[in-house]
Structure 1
């Protein structure tokens, strides 16, 4: 026993078989065993019963079938039978039907560049015959009878031992019936991998449903062996919408919108049906067909989900059926053994064009969104008179007795009427006699002159720059979902401090203090990304001298830096350098940012980001001067990012001196500051915060330094209870 313990290897060590002879130690020769080669190839193409079914469906549709019947037993492992009414197979072709690479679709290799059929390599039936018992019964239009043939290992085989392997005449209808029995009978490891036949049947139902929706004019039926009813039954004359209704239900079909897109530059046409904003599910359902072949594309799926993210609630996903036709010369269909994936040229441009079309369709119908409502809140009692009480008391049963209404506790009650008194009304009123257009008792006076707007007639341009798309993605990736949702549903309470730019908002049962200066910076930067190349215009009449404006900022900068030699600089040199930079890039500034500068150095316009608010023109010289040293003009992405941030900084409302106390009067304050204060206060309440509700993406950085939770109603009630 001790001897055995000494020679035993450590536990877990893999032991090698001892060499049986000296010849076994010699290097193994490279061989090509036909049986091994064919089974390996079959395993790549036929991974599961659903893959065999997909190949058979595509062959049937290629054969011109208008009716397909699918019969399944034990999830397709025991029996998988498909019957069609197509052209059939000639008797002379039956001997080579299941040999590898025998096909009627390709005559020369170059035909792969323009393939328009489902099957073309001639591997499907060959692969099936190597791992299952295959029976083919077929009849052509010119044949007087049907012919039945059995196959094993790619060649004809006899139905029973001792019989001839030649095809036998039999009774049958026009078309082809293919029966696949005992799938993976000679690959036991693969057969044992299938744990549930019901899961395999569900996959088959999904595949039949996909082709039922896409193949217009073709009838489909699918059922289990031994069942009297069918799992799927679609008539040949059914429309695409009716097919979706039968397969996926009325809840999906009732909320579908049709879309189509095409572009000759990229050689594609796309059409399909997608759900609107009234419908959403937990997982995206994408039925994608490229050149009539059911495929998968993670890039298209991600792009569609991103398109819907602005229309659907959190964790909501759409249903989309899409048929994409691409010039066959731009598509490589021979990249995957099961043809499940394809490669095509200009993928990003095609996906963007399709998603923009879907986004426009969703935006067009988003105005009529529907919501589920209740006529009564749960537990609410109807007011009843004395006669109703007596009449109904005898008719009450345990099932119809109303429940006791749930008490609404005060710590869960929140203000829902935004027109109620705000903090602003508690502030002391300004000097009622100082500003033009001021009326007694009105604290939200618009002292600024009315702005005039006119249509520029400029057509909307679609931004296709990768750098801008990357910047948009960076904002979405940095989104703080909870804060974004709070701002989207907030109630504005009022401005708290104009010098520190603080405002209070209510979200649910919580009260927040918002740095509206930082919020405006985030908002205007995101507006710059969203409306890139489509800004409005603020015109200067007459035009401003760019160098004079820059000189004002440079002089102020020099005074702020002091008189030290280290900080000293030549004002004229700085002004000229910045002016040259802006004039040199004036075409780009005009096209993308509506910042128009003439070759002579006249400033004609700056971008308009939002209506109802005018940025402080006192900040204009500093804004233009910073465009020189603070914008990275050498890198496209960094240039756009830094330039948009400078524009956002320019648009952020400036800090204003605080209002006087209750016993003071706003004396000695210039009328311009009074008018500006009223303009900013009105813009904050009636322009900025409503805009934040609609389109602000609150980032994680803004959450850290721009928001403070002041109070939680439930927490306050707990404090009062202890008192």
Structure 2
């Protein structure tokens, strides 16, 4: 200290020196006083007291009132309710930090009041201090909009019932500001409906420390949603809705006509099922209490208490603790209730001006009122305590407690696995809203039962429609372990092309029905969405993947009696030459001979890897079985065998396996069926004429038209049965959806979207 200050050592101790003697400038002498004592040396800072800048004062006040986006919303929400609104819509972006917009249909704001709207302590609800003793509205100090304008960009659009247009004004620091530089700050006329819309953008943009303190937008959105649901429960006759900016669906909404009990059910789900109403009043203490609380059948992880005192949402740890102690005798350890409590107390007994955000209030005779309320809740709980309900685990369908274990296992095997797994999943989860419910139980009513008899008769399952049961035999052939690098590479290609989202769709699908067997389209449901699927493309990829996973271990389809390979190839070549003009100049015998020689020379490889059995005499004894319960269309067999010649690369191992498995998958894909007679009648005249000409040719070359129709209809029913009971269940359990399959799956509807459509009607 002595090194930093020039202190005269000759001066007597305890004698103060002047500023001139110490060598200090005159201004410094007013701020710093140096004292030198034998044991203590210190510098005492003497600060000058002066009034804070008004902008600093306003920001300090704004920071006390608007602590988070939820507080800004609460202030604006209460203003809208005070304005007599019956519908309030809220839009939020980034939890309210980026955008907080509230629109109501109240009485609006007069054009002449807009210049002073955001000035501090401008209100129409107080005239003198005595009015504060009987305040009956939410707002009264006139600080909400003023505080918001100092820490955010504020825009107000309002229209009264008597105004011919709406007026829009922008505010900054409590004053009108132009919307764009160079424009006038005066309110501008614009189009708008009666009521007020307040838009708050970039909240806390000029207080970076406050803005950085928020953890995440989703957490702030949850708090905003909590404010909305509290007031939505309490304010009957007012419709509320809140949604995120850019979303079409509301995060929460409730109609104006909904009762308090309905509002609780909609906002708090399971708590709304076990409600009991209570109420008590006492003129001596000047209060009336009413509300809803859960009975002993409900137990939550935490206490949810909605407390309103004179219609104002407040918090009270005293009331909350007292109610929790009341429930300790009725709930299991760790259980907590849901309570909605509305207290109407004489305004002269309540002090509402004790907290900047009006989160707390003080009222007289607090202990007596709380005791009466808790006693009334205790009595209501005791009345319903005799009707406790307990959740029990349901048994599998068709099983009784006395069923032997081997029969229980058999019943479990017969039960569709997807239905049971869905039941187990939903029994342990929270019940979803109606627009999230999914029908996955095959025993429930199907869509075909809603069709007219003429249509449902063609899609109903009967014994005649089901294909004949195939006979299967087992062999003693051991499974072959495939370690070929080429097969591993092909499997890796499938995994790399996997589309996770589409694979999840197929893994949770529920088959709906065939839409068009000519275009090979079917409908399936996954979650709450309905998809149109090209089952031809899906089956092609599915059977290719089966070919890779079961490579070298296929089953056999025995052909009895075995046909001649050459004759089959001649049929295919003749058909190809007749139907394809580009092949008309080819020598049929030369093509057949070349393909026949290729297949015969590779008989051993075809038998070992692909289960295509060809005898030395050239007889086709067996073809591969890829999926049990499904028989490919044997009319496609000649074309399949003929294409094994020119469309398979026999020179390279990996290319050979890929192309041959693709041809095998194409052979297994369900065939395209001609349109039904009823569908053809509905076709335009030109299309019917073309189809009629085709039918005439078919009648001349094969059999009668009626027999063709009967055979086609029979095959259509067989295919519908196979798709429902074999193919789509196999898709659900085994398929790895690839990116190339995206063009074959189209979302046509979803339940949430339909709910939104009907909500508009």
Q: Say yes or no: does 1:183 pair with 2:203.
A: yes
Q: Which runs of 5+ in 2 are unaligned?
A: 1-24, 33-45, 422-761
Query: Of the candidates 346, 354, 371, which is equivalent to residue 327 of structure 1?
Result: 346
Whole-angstrom CA distance in 1 between matches of 2:339 and 2:366: 18
Whole-angstrom CA distance in 2 between matches of 1:42 and 1:195: 21
After superposition, the Cα gap between the structure-2 partners of 1:202 and 1:395, relative to the gap in structure 1 and judged at 3 Å, is closer
Whole-angstrom CA distance in 1 between matches of 2:146 and 2:408: 79
- Aligned-residue offset at 1:30: 1.9
What corresponds to 1:9 in structure 2?
none
Whole-angstrom CA distance in 2 between matches of 1:131 and 1:370: 52
SS at match of 2:241: strand
What corresponds to 2:291 in structure 1?
272
What corresponds to 1:577 in structure 2?
none
Correspondence list, 1:42-121, <5 A: 42-121=62-141
What corresponds to 1:217 in structure 2?
237
- Aligned-residue offset at 1:195: 2.1
SS at match of 2:169: strand
After superposition, the Cα gap between the structure-2 partners of 1:178 and 1:367, relative to the gap in structure 1 and judged at 3 Å, is same
What corresponds to 1:305 in structure 2?
324
After superposition, the Cα gap between the structure-2 partners of 1:35 and 1:363, relative to the gap in structure 1 and judged at 3 Å, is same
After superposition, the Cα gap between the structure-2 partners of 1:248 and 1:386, relative to the gap in structure 1 and judged at 3 Å, is closer
Correspondence list, 1:145-184, <5 A: 145-184=165-204
Whole-angstrom CA distance in 2 between matches of 1:372 and 1:83: 43
Correspondence list, 1:496-645, <5 A: none
Correspondence list, 1:476-495, <5 A: none
After superposition, the Cα gap between the structure-2 partners of 1:35 and 1:277, relative to the gap in structure 1 and judged at 3 Å, is same
TM-score normalised to structure 1 length = 0.50
- Aligned-residue offset at 1:315: 1.0
Whole-angstrom CA distance in 2 between matches of 1:66 and 1:396: 52
Whole-angstrom CA distance in 1 between matches of 2:367 and 2:146: 37
After superposition, the Cα gap between the structure-2 partners of 1:387 and 1:308, relative to the gap in structure 1 and judged at 3 Å, is closer
Whole-angstrom CA distance in 2 between matches of 1:169 and 1:108: 34
Q: Deviations over 1:559-607 (max 9, x none)?
A: xxxxxxxxxxxxxxxxxxxxxxxxxxxxxxxxxxxxxxxxxxxxxxxxx
Whole-angstrom CA distance in 1 between matches of 2:363 and 2:251: 35
SS at match of 1:357: helix
Whole-angstrom CA distance in 1 between matches of 2:258 and 2:101: 24
- Aligned-residue offset at 1:31: 1.9
Q: Say yes or no: does 1:127 pair with 2:136.
A: no
Aligned length: 382
Whole-angstrom CA distance in 1 between matches of 2:313 and 2:124: 21
Whole-angstrom CA distance in 1 between matches of 2:362 and 2:342: 16
Correspondence list, 1:455-474, <5 A: none
Whole-angstrom CA distance in 2 between matches of 1:172 and 1:396: 59
Q: Which runs of 5+ in 1 are unaligned?
A: 1-18, 403-723
- Aligned-residue offset at 1:374: 3.5
What corresponds to 2:164 in structure 1?
144
- Aligned-residue offset at 1:175: 0.3
- Aligned-residue offset at 1:69: 0.3
After superposition, the Cα gap between the structure-2 partners of 1:398 and 1:366, relative to the gap in structure 1 and judged at 3 Å, is closer
What corresponds to 2:373 in structure 1?
354
- Aligned-residue offset at 1:393: 10
Correspondence list, 1:267-416, <5 A: 267-374=286-393, 383-384=402-403, 395=414
Q: Say yes or no: does 1:234 pair with 2:250.
A: no
- Aligned-residue offset at 1:100: 0.3
Whole-angstrom CA distance in 2 between matches of 1:259 and 1:401: 41
Query: Of the candidates 202, 205, 214, which is equivalent to residue 222 of structure 2?
Result: 202
TM-score normalised to structure 2 length = 0.48
- Aligned-residue offset at 1:396: 8.0
Query: Of the candidates 264, 279, 288, which is equivalent to residue 260 of structure 1?
Result: 279
RMSD of the TM alignment (CA)?
Answer: 2.8
- Aligned-residue offset at 1:74: 0.6
Q: Deviations over 1:486-505 (max 9, x none)?
A: xxxxxxxxxxxxxxxxxxxx
Whole-angstrom CA distance in 2 between matches of 1:40 and 1:120: 20
After superposition, the Cα gap between the structure-2 partners of 1:387 and 1:202, relative to the gap in structure 1 and judged at 3 Å, is closer
Whole-angstrom CA distance in 2 between matches of 1:385 and 1:133: 73
- Aligned-residue offset at 1:28: 2.5
SS at match of 1:68: strand
- Aligned-residue offset at 1:387: 11
> Greater Rg, structure 1 or structure 2?
2
Q: Deviations over 1:294-323 (max 9, x none)?
A: 000001000100100001111111000011
Whole-angstrom CA distance in 1 between matches of 2:338 and 2:415: 45
- Aligned-residue offset at 1:27: 3.0
Whole-angstrom CA distance in 2 between matches of 1:369 and 1:389: 31
SS at match of 1:47: coil
- Aligned-residue offset at 1:373: 2.3
Whole-angstrom CA distance in 2 between matches of 1:367 and 1:106: 52
Q: Deviations over 1:459-512 (max 9, x none)?
A: xxxxxxxxxxxxxxxxxxxxxxxxxxxxxxxxxxxxxxxxxxxxxxxxxxxxxx
What corresponds to 1:641 in structure 2?
none
- Aligned-residue offset at 1:401: 12
Whole-angstrom CA distance in 1 between matches of 2:254 and 2:408: 54
